[in-house]
Amino acid sequence: MIRLTNIEKRFGDLTVLKGVTLSVAEGRVTALIGPSGGGKSTLLRCINLLEIPTAGTLRIGQEELSFRDGVPPAWREIQRLRRQTGMVFQNFQLFPHRTAIENVMEGLVTVQKWPHERARERAFALLQKVGMAHKADAWPATLSGGQQQRVAIARALAPSPRVLLCDEPTSALDPELSGEVVEVLGRLADEGTTMVMATHDLRLASRIAHDVVFLEAGQVVEAGSAQALFTQPKHDRTKRFIATLTQQGQHGEGV
């Protein structure tokens, strides 16, 4: 369903992604793990074209786009692929001057031109799905971090994207609040939502991911099923990284 082929991303002289190739099957959850600066978030942003790859090919469903250095793709081509994705950011990025339900409605009304009442019905149903219907008329400033992130997940789901992209969805939350978000994402995974997430949260990755990709220095070190990679990693570097995360979790530092 998603296929990245030889994706490169350079910022000036710095090469952040170096020929990344991977596939994400429909209805599966893929976790991108690895040390900070390894390219996880950049790769995620390349999938929804918040960052335009320097080279390579991106395919989502039946839509495909190839990239060449110095030749930016047309805006309509970017939008064609981006419309198939929903993005959940690390720091929520809710509109502070909109209530929870208005945040979820915003894209439906302003971008997709839905009638107001239809958008409100859709938004309320999604808030129910993430356990936030009782806060539909609350302002973001009055919500906890976990509640804000659940509203952000509802907003990302509003246009019925083919894939949900999550960039460190629990890293800004303390363990108790992150548990709320893990639970919601787990339910979405059980329902067959296709997801790609960049995360340091081993609990999140091990609980809901079907597949795991370990990235370091902009390259795929190892990829496979979550069960295999977390219990029997093949590469020494993967073993060391997972051991470090596990030790952090045991000491209550969060992972």
Confidence of residue 246 (pLDDT cuts 50, 70, 90): low
CA R_g for the chain: 18
Q: Could you tell me what percent of the chain has a pLDDT over 70? A: 96
With a cut of 50, say whether residue 192 has pLDDT above it.
Answer: yes
Domain holding 103, by residue range, is: 94-160
CATH code for the domain of 233: 3.40.50.300
Provide the whole-model pTM: 0.91
Residue 32 and residue 68 in one domain: yes
Q: If residue 152 lies in a helix (H) or strand (E), which one and from where to where?
A: helix 145-157
Residue 56 and residue 182 in one domain: yes
- Which among 26, 51, 36 has a CA at the least distance from the CA of 241? 36
pLDDT at residue number 253 = 43
Q: Could you tell me the strand order of the sheet in which 55-60 lies?
A: 14-24, 2-11, 55-60, 63-67
Residue 156 lies in a domain: yes
Half-sphere exposure for 120 (CA within 13 Å, toward CB): 6
SS3 205: helix
Average pLDDT of the residues in 222-248? 86
Read off the pLDDT of residues 20-73 as tens digits, 9 standing for 90 and up: 999 999 999 999 999 989 999 999 999 999 999 999 999 998 899 999 988 999
Pick the range with the lowest mean pLDDT from 7-11, 96-100, 241-245.
Answer: 241-245
Residue 120 and residue 227 in one domain: no
Residue 152 and residue 193 in one domain: no
